[in-house]
Structure formats: C-alpha cells, structure tokens
Structure 1
Amino acid sequence: MRLAEIDQYLSSSIPSQATGWRRFVLEFLMFGLKEARCCLFAGLFFAAVFLMPRAGLFGIPRYDALLLFALLVQVWMVSTRIETIAELKAISVFHVVGFALEVFKTSGAIQSWSYPDFAYTKLFGVPLFSGFMYAAVGSYIIQAWRLFDLRIQHHPPYWMATLIALLIYVNFFTHHYIGDYRWYLAACALGLYARSTVLFRPLDRDRKMPLLLAFLLIGFFIWLAENISTFFGIWRYPNQMGAWSTVHLGKWSAWSLLVMMTFTIVVHLKHIRSKIHIAH
C-alpha cells in the first residue's frame, strides 16, 4: 500500500459501532497510528541521528551525512506530495529561525551548548543539519492538521498570538543580557490561550483538549528526544562534557514555548486558517 493510500485511510472518518473499552482501545490504536504518521519526518530524522555512526558513513562526517539524509527526505516528501510547497516554505522558516538560535547559543560569548564533531557543512560553528531539528517540529504540527482534522476553538487574535511568539523568540536571546522573562511570557500565554481548545478526530468522533496542554505534551517529548540526542553526543551542554547527565527539566518549559511559537507560524498557512475560530 502506498503512503498516499495510507494517508487517505487515516484521514477518513472511519465509522465504528464499538462502545466501552473496545472503543477506547480502537481510538487509542488509531491515535497512535496517526501520531506515528505525523512524526514521519521527525521519526526518520531522529532515527538517523541515533543510528549514524560517530565516525560518519562512507567517509562522510556524521553531521554532513545527517544533513544529506534530511535533504533527501525533504525532497521525497515534497515530490510525493506528502508536503505542499506552501508547507515547505513554512518548514524552511522553522529551519532558519532554529539555525539562527543555534548560532547564537553556541557562540563564544554564550556557549550554552556545542557541537564537538568536525563537519564540512558547519557555518559559524553550527552544522547545517541542526535547523532540521526545529523543522521536524513544524512538520509534525502541519501533518497533524491534516490527519487529525484539527480545529481550534477560541484562538486568540492573530496579532496577539504573533506578538507573544515574537517575544518568546527574542527572550531566548536577551535573557543572557537583561534577565530571563520566560515565566512572565508563560503567564501572558496562559491568559491568552486559557480558553483555547483543540478538536481532533482519532476515529469518527471529535475529542478535545486544552491547547496549552498540547503545547506542554509536545514540549515534553522533544525534551525526551533531546536527552537521547545528548546521550549519543550529537551535541552537549557544558555540564555533560565530563559525563552525560539528564538535560535540566527547565528545558521542557523552553521547548513548550518554542512549540507555541512554531504553532503560531503554522496557523498563518491559508488552508489552516479556515479551521481556526478566533475568540472575540
């Protein structure tokens, strides 16, 4: 079965007469299948990250091989229409935004983390593949809109959501100089999205959850992936230079805010705006 046929099957509202625990199990399985499909790019990319030998592949340094793999997967997804050109443009924005943040965080003046291995495709000390880690989050959100038939109720006005997203991004830079205002921004976001609900369809019935909870859950799984990545030495924080240790739990909040920022970029896509109800 081709991937397009699988997508068509997963996207359709599959009627079911199941009730009770049978319905729960069926919806849970369908939810898991759709989640796995939404993570196609992220899953392939991070599988390559974890499986790529430290010495690289076929004489190609590890970071360069990861970049080549990510580009090939991205070309394949567009050529097979898994992603549209408009969605690719949005994902490219995530790549640029993420790479700029990486350059700043790894700079000599900041040194929040580092990429210790050699690569031909390093720019300002950052391997170009790193932007795809941020693009993977955007790809997941875009695919989820389609497969789960996502709709948002009581979304804040676009200008407010965009402003808080910009402030979140700026704070990742400025907190090294004028203090970390993350929790103030989180409090503002809590008020802004307090009434926002995401509707999704695992099977044939709509389910819903607070949008803020969705941000937290996605941020948590990214934090888990970050722990695995640092364990395999893809990058390291200063406290992991001697021996590996768990990434600080505070990074979960940072990732959740970054997910919120990524989500804000996604909702500006034309075919997604039609599924968003703006609160008044």
Structure 2
Amino acid sequence: MMRLTSVEERIDAWAHRRLGGVPEHGWRARAVEFVVFVLKQAWACIFGAALLAAIVAAKLWYPDDAALARNDALVLAAVGIQFAMLVFRLETVREASVILMFHVVGTAMEIFKTDVGSWVYTGDGVLHIAGVPLYSGFMYAAIGSYMVRVYRLFDLRFDRYPRRWITAVLAALIYANFFSHHWIWDFRVVLFAATFVIFGFCTMYVRIYRATVQLPILLSFVGVAFFIWVAENIGTWANAWQYPHQESGWEIVSLAKLGSWFLLMIISVVLVAWVYPPRPPDGLERPVLPRGS
C-alpha cells in the first residue's frame, strides 16, 4: 500500500468510523463513499487551489505601488506553498520529483508560446526567464501535483493500459505539435484520433474507500481538462496571463482550449506513468486501517 500523508490518514480514519458495521451497498455507505471521493479530490487539488487562491488574492488586494512586484510576490508564494507541502509532509519527495518534471516541461513551453504571441504576461518583476515569470512553471506543477496525488489517493489501477513506449511516442508528438504547428500543419486532429485508438480500450479502476469505480480513462481525461479550463478562466480573469482576445478586457477562454488541455493530459499521464508504472486491477488493495483506528 502506498504511504499516506497525515491528512489522507485522517480522511480514511473518518470513513472507517462511519462505515464500521455498515453494509457495503446501502445508502449510508454510498453517501460516505461520495464524501470521501470529494474530500480526496479536494486534497489532490490542494497545491493548485492554493496557487490559484494566491493569484486571485494578488489581483484583489496586492498594492500596485508595493516595493516587491506582484509577479515576484507570486513566485515567492508558489515557492512557499511547495516548501510548506514538503516540510509538513503533505507531499512526498517522490511526488515532488514528478512535479519538478512538469515544472521544466511547462516552463519551456511558456517561453516559446509567449515569444510567438500565443499569450502574454503583464507586470514587472525580476524573477522571470525571457519575460516569463517563474510562477508560470508552478501552474504546470499544480497539474503534476494533482496527477500524482490521485494516483496514490485512489490506488489507481488500469486494465488494457497501452504499452508505455507507445504512449511515450504519442506524448512526444503532442508536445512537439504545441511548437511545430506555428510553422507547419497543425496535426492535432491526427493526435486526437491516435489518442482514442491507443487509450480507447483502457479502463481505470478508482478505489474510493471500500468501493471501487470503473470508468473509461478517456472520460477522466475530459473531466480533468474541463476543470483545468475553469481554473484557466479564473487565472486569466486575475491577470496571471492574457490571451490576445483579452487585451481590451477579460473574456471567457474559448472552449477550443479544452482540446489543448485534453492533449496535455496525455503528456501528464505519460510522465506520471514513468515514475508510477500502471498496475493491473488484479489484487486491488483493500483499505488499510489508519493508525490508532
């Protein structure tokens, strides 16, 4: 069983107390499982939620004439959040190593995309690379943090998961297309089709507490992409960055961006899978009673 952090142990301990002697298929068991699912999803999002809260707070309350530029303050806030997660053992070192990969991959994309004008960052500051404030990489790290945490929190298992080298090739092509489509044909339609062929038969097993839910892995990609799109709208409203159509005033981000986030999910899953190899559903682990239960 993967090691739980203290908060995760408390969630499981709460479920254990509520489900003691309760039939697995009754309404009370379903209600408790639903609450546990929501709590674990919220906990998996903690890094991204904290960073998004800092971005919104900076828009609403950070003084324009402060000695420390707003963008630099956000960089320090992001570093502080990451540091606190490790110091208080709310995140494992192994998870942090995966998150670092997301940070590097994301920052490289940000530098390129801002250079070609796909979006812009406003405001001053010194903590940046090629005009890209360093907090941008933490936004990708937030996605990585969510991915590795749900893998552990829900003891994810996979049936008919494709060979990892095939998924790695697909992820590399997706990443390359984010750059190359500015000069050659945008072949994301081909990438969407390849994704459905490669992952179309894969089923994901999600253990909540006692209950295990099965769902097509592609459905989970769409769901996560949607919530990233929602967070993106909040981030652009808070002036964390701007798309060209938002320069004269904030407007909702196009739904077409869901496709980009869907493809980014493939890259995210592949990165996590190289650190946490996908496991089959055979012998799906039952919950281990928290210490002191």
TM-score (normalised: structure 2): 0.87
Distance 1:104 1:62 in 2: 23
> Over aligned residue pairs, what C-alpha RMSD do you find?
2.0
Residues 253, 222 of structure 1: alpha-carbon distance in 2 compared, 3 angstrom cutoff: same
- Judge conservation of contact 2:24–2:210 (CA < 8 Å) in 1: no
Match of 1:275 among 272, 275, 279: 279
2:213 matches 1:212: no
Partner SS for 1:249:
coil
Q: Do residues 17 (structure 1) and 23 (structure 2) align?
A: yes
From 245, 260, 265, the equivalent of 1:254 is: 260
Q: Which residue of 1 aligns with 2:108?
A: 100
Q: Partner residue of 1:242?
A: 248
Q: Which residue number corresponds to residue 70 of structure 1?
A: 78
Do the aligned partners of 2:78 and 2:138 also contact (CA within 8 Å) in 1?
yes
C-alpha distance in 2 between matches for 1:170 and 1:266: 19
- Distance in 1 (alpha carbons) for counterparts of 2:64 and 2:196: 44
Q: Is residue 8 of structure 2 the alignment partner of residue 7 of structure 1?
A: yes
How far the C-alpha of 1:74 sits from its partner, in A, is 1.1
Tell me how far apart the structure 1 counterparts of residues 181 and 260 of structure 2 sit (CA, whole Å).
Answer: 12
Higher mean C-alpha displacement, 201-210 vs 16-25: 16-25
- TM-superposition CA deviations, 1:178-216 (whole Å, max 9, x none): 021111101101010011111112221111111111111
Shift of 1:259: 1.4
Deviation at 1:20, TM superposition (A): 4.6
Instruction: Give the Cα–Cα distance (whole angstroms) in 1 for the partners of residues 144 and 119 of structure 2.
Output: 23
- The question of whether the paired residues in 1 share the 8 Å contact of 2:6 and 2:90 is answered with no
Q: Which moved more, 1:22-31 or 1:122-131?
A: 22-31
Residue 209 of structure 2 corresponds to: 203
Amino acid at match of 1:106: T
Aligned residues: 271
Q: Distance in 2 between matches of 1:112 and 1:274?
A: 34
Q: In structure 2, what is the Cα distance between the partners aligned to 1:40 and 1:121?
A: 24
State the shift of 1:60 in Å. Answer: 1.8
Aligned equivalents of 2:82 and 2:169: distance in 1? 30
Deviations 1:72-99 (A, max 9, x none): 1212222333333332221111001101
Hey, what does 2:286 align to over in structure 1?
Answer: none
Cα distance change of structure 1 residues 119 and 276 upon mapping to structure 2, 3 Å threshold: farther
- 1:122 aligns with 128
The Cα of 1:47 is off from its aligned counterpart by 0.8
Instruction: Tell whether the 8 Å contact from 1:198 to 1:209 is kept in structure 2 after alignment.
Output: yes
| TM superposition score normalised by structure 1 | 0.90
1:112–1:72 Cα change, 3 Å: same
Q: More deviation in 24-33 or 50-59?
A: 50-59
Query: What one-letter code is carried by the residue in structure 1 that aligns with 2:113?
Result: K
Give 1:170's aligned residue. 176
Structure 1 SS opposite 2:274: coil
Q: Within 2, Cα distance between the matches of 1:276 and 1:120?
A: 47
Whether the 8 Å CA contact 2:233–2:252 is kept in 1: the answer is: yes
Gaps of 5+ in 2: 282-293
Out of 174-183 and 72-81, give the one that drifted further. Answer: 72-81
Q: Percent identity?
A: 38
CA-to-aligned-CA distance 1:17-42 (integer Å, 9 cap, x gap): 26454333322211110101111111
